[in-house]
Each structure stands twice: as structure tokens, then as C-alpha cells.
Amino acid sequence: MTTATSSKTMTINLGPQHPATHGVLRVMLDLDGETVLKATPYLGYLHTGIEKTAEDKLWYKVIPMTDRMDYLAPMSNNLGYVLAVEKMLGLEVPEKVKWARALLAEITRLNSHLVWIGTHALDVGAMSMVLYAFRERELVLEVYEAVAGARMMSTYFRVGGLAKDLPADFDQRIQKILDILPERIDLYENLLTNNRIWIDRLTNVGVLSKEQALDLSLTGPLLRSTGVKYDVRKDHPYSGYENFDFEVPVGTKGDCFDRYLVRIAEMRQSLRIIKQALDGMPEGPYKADAPGIVLPDKQKVLTEMEAMIFHFKLITEGFKVPAGSYYQAIESPKGEIGYYMVSDGGTKPYRMRVRPPSYINLQALNPMVVGGLIADVITCIGSIDIVLGEVDR
């Protein structure tokens, strides 16, 4: 401690192993009694060098690593990467692929927000919410398992399409979510929105003004809760989002309670998009017709020589991407996730830069908690909605 304001000033260490920091986040708190003077996060406990590793992988082998950044929203991460590479290749994907990707990205948003509401409520003291939220998340994970075979690290999107066609019972599974979730979200709201304790713990806690939020480069629900209507899905539609009718919920005060309301409203909007995508899903192939970039059908590989050659060459050499760079932003559940890809014309990325929304949003922790109580630090960390895998990469 350098600047002691009173004899009660002390420094305590929160984390890195603490259940309420949502992973391995360490925060040094300077306190005056129970009032926070300064919060300094220390990061890097989960650093795995994903950006550097990508420079040594073929373009299509990077996709599984993007899952492992934000492991609660794997499909959003995949989507940003494949869109960036497709743009650089100048590759158009079939309509069905666009719609299926958008649908699955919205399912992913539900997944992320469900985990968020469960753990956030658990931190604040509403024990039962986590059980309800994880029960509903199971529906989402079942969809992941049905389409990709894995429950968390799906790696389902490919450059030029999907890994395989949607399963036969896809419609029924999505319909089940559409039937069950709206009333379950009502249940959450019954439990929380008018709950005296919930309101007291969240209202006027971690308040950010519009100017502060923009200055700190915040995006996602954190920015929208201050009243700025910035959503990449609306402003720069990608993967067929221009076909869907949905609202962008915004808050007014920019406190933790507004962020809760914004995310709850986002879940309802996601259900709206999922319904439209399911009803209007076009027929067609699940991957683009681009030999040399997209793997040929397995049946053809076994019976036709050209397909066999393409398969072999693609797996061993990969495909080349024209030299240049492109920044692709998409709206992940945490905020704007961006992939800045640089190619030197080779079969591997020259540089992959991920704009990590969790990392940048975590900068808001210090301004949010200064002057508040130590108990509110936990509320604020929960309300920023970070995934440490993405913060540290």
C-alpha cells in the first residue's frame, strides 16, 4: 500500500482459486474498511498461446482451438473464424448453411446466458437458480451432442459449410427448446425480477455511464445496458441475420440490474430468432461446392479417384488463402468477438488476432467497483460475464 487514507486501509487478494471469480481470475483489492479503493486484476493463469499456436496450424485445423477460448459459446467462436476465412477466400456458402449457423449461434447464446444467470445468482446468494439454469442448459447441450457429437467443444462449423448434415431429429429437438424455455424464463423472472434481495444486491451496483462504457471499448450486454444500441447482428448482418426480425434490448442506468434485464430480454429475442430460423430453414446442401477447400463426401472418396485425390491433398496440405488481411466481427454472447486474420498466401495463417470481448470487458471491473462495498465486487465480476479461457487465450 502506498497511499493509506486511514489506519483501516488494507490489501487483500481475491482468487485465483475462488468459486466466485468464474475461473482463475486474481484480483488485488485495496480496501478501506469494507469500501473498495482499487481493484487490480492479474491475468494469465489460463494462457495457452492460442494466437501463436494458430500460426503453426493449417487453416482448417485452427477451428478446434477457437472452441477452447470461450468454452461456453463454442459455436459463436467457430462462426467468427470461418466467416473471416470464407471472406478472404471469397467463398459463398449455401443458404441452408447460413441459416443453420445463425440458429446454432443463437442456441449458443442461450447456453452462455443460462450459465451466466445460474452462476451469477449463485454468487449473489440465490442458490436454486443454478440448478434450474443447468437443467435447461441440458436441452442445449443435447442439441450440441446431436449435431456435432460433443457436448461442449462442438467444432461443428467448417470453412465452406458444416461438418456434417443436420440430424434427422433436429427439428424436434429445437422445437422442444422453443416449447419449454419461454415458460422457464418466466420462472426465472418470477424468482428474481421482483425479488427484494436480488433487487437490493444489483440495483445501483457497478454503475457505468454511456461515455465511460464507450471510452473503455466495452461491447455486448455491458455496453447495451448503458443505452447504446450497438449489436453487430443488426449493424453488420452476417450469416443471414438480415432475414430475421428481432429487437436489440437496451438498458437505461447501466447497473448490474440493467445488465440482468438486458440478458433476459436477449434470451427471449434469441428464441424468436431460433423460431424464425427453424420455420424458414431452406433445403439444400450442408456445404459449399468448392473442391480443394471443402472435403468431398465420404462415399465419393471411396468410389471416385478425383474425390480421393482432393481428400488426400486437403488433409495433408490444406488450402491456400490469398495474401491479405480481414477483420470479421460477430456478436458473441459476451460482446463483439473479432478475428483479424493475416495471410501471406500460404496454407497457414500468418497471424491470428482475436478481439476477446471478455478480456476487454474485464477492464471495466475497476471503475465499476471503486467506492462500492467488497461484497459488490463479486456481483460485478458475475455481471461482466467473463470466461477466463477467452480472457487469457
Binning the chain into helix, strand and coil, the percentages to the nearest 5 are 50, 15, 35
Helices and strands: H and E segment counts in the chain: 17, 8
51, 95, 145, 165: which one contacts other proteins (CB under 8 A)?
Answer: 51
**Which one of residues 65, 139, 159, 218 is an interface residue with other proteins (CB under 8 A)?**
218
Whichever of 11 and 190 has its CB closer to other proteins, that residue is 11
Contact (Cβ atoms closer than 8 angstroms) between residue 107 and residue 140: yes
**Closest CB 47 distance from other proteins, rounded Å:** 5
317 close to 336: Cβ distance less than 8 angstroms: no
Residue closer to other proteins, measured from CB, 261 or 362:
362
Q: Which of residues 312-351 bind other proteins (CB under 8 A)?
A: 322-327, 329, 336, 338, 340, 342, 350-351
The three cell numbers of residue 366 are 475497476
Cβ 195 to other proteins shortest distance, Å:
34
Among residues 312 and 327, whose Cβ is nearest to other proteins? 327
Q: Which of 77, 219, 270, 379 lies at the binding interface for other proteins (CB under 8 A)?
A: 219
283-286 contacts, C-beta under 8 A, 24 or more apart: 283/96, 284/94, 284/95, 284/96, 285/94, 285/96, 285/161, 286/94, 286/96, 286/97, 286/100, 286/161, 286/162, 286/164, 286/165, 286/166
Question: Rounded to an integer, what distance in angstroms lies between the CA atom of residue 308 and that of residue 311?
Answer: 5
Q: Which is nearer to other proteins, 86 or 376 (CB)?
A: 86
363 binds other proteins (CB under 8 A): yes
Stretch that binds other proteins, among 57-65, 147-155, 217-225, 286-294 (CB under 8 A): 217-225
Residue type, 24: V
Q: Return the number of the residue (176 or 351) whose C-beta is nearest other proteins.
A: 351
> Which H or E element spans position 19?
none
Q: Looking at beta carbons only, is 188 or 230 nearer to other proteins?
A: 230
CB 162 within 8 A of CB 97: yes
Of residues 10-49, which lie at the interface with other proteins (CB under 8 A)?
A: 43-44, 47, 49
CB of 392 to other proteins, least distance (A): 6
Instruction: Count other C-beta atoms under 10 Å from residue 44's C-beta.
Output: 12
Amino acid at 97: V
Residue 217 is classified by DSSP as T
Beta strands in 215-365 (DSSP E): 324-332, 335-343, 351-355
Determine if 235 is a binding residue for other proteins (CB under 8 A).
Answer: yes
Q: What minimum distance in Å lies between the beta carbon of 258 and other proteins?
A: 18
Q: Is 1 in the site for other proteins (CB under 8 A)?
A: no
Q: By C-beta, is 136 or 392 nearer to other proteins? A: 392
Looking at residues 79 to 108 of the shown chain, list those that interact with other proteins (rule: CB under 8 A). Answer: 87-88
Q: Report which of 366, 349, 362 is spatially closest to residue 392, judged by C-alpha positions.
A: 362
Pick the binder of other proteins from 58, 203, 353, 375 (CB under 8 A). 353
Q: Count CB neighbours of 11 within 10 A.
A: 12
Asked if 26 contacts 13 with a C-beta cutoff of 8 angstroms, the reply is yes
Quick check: 217 binds other proteins (CB under 8 A)?
A: yes
Q: Which is nearer to other proteins, 118 or 357 (CB)?
A: 357
What's the min distance (Å) between Cβ of 355 and other proteins?
4
CB of 347 to other proteins, least distance (A): 17
Q: How far is the CB of 385 from other proteins (least distance, A)?
A: 17
Cell numbers for 133, please give them: 439454469
Q: How far is the CB of 331 from other proteins (least distance, A)?
A: 13
User: For residue 37, what are the CA distances in angstroms to 12, 216, 314?
Assistant: 11, 19, 56
Of positions 60, 116, 230, 241, contacts other proteins by CB under 8 A: 230
The span from the CA of 251 to the CA of 87, in Å, is 34
CA distance linking residue 75 with residue 104, whole number of Å: 7
The site that binds other proteins (CB under 8 A) totals a number of residues, namely 40
Q: Which residues bind other proteins (CB under 8 A)?
A: 43-44, 47, 49, 51-52, 56, 87-88, 214-219, 228, 230, 235-236, 322-327, 329, 336, 338, 340, 342, 350-351, 353, 355, 359-360, 362-363, 392-393
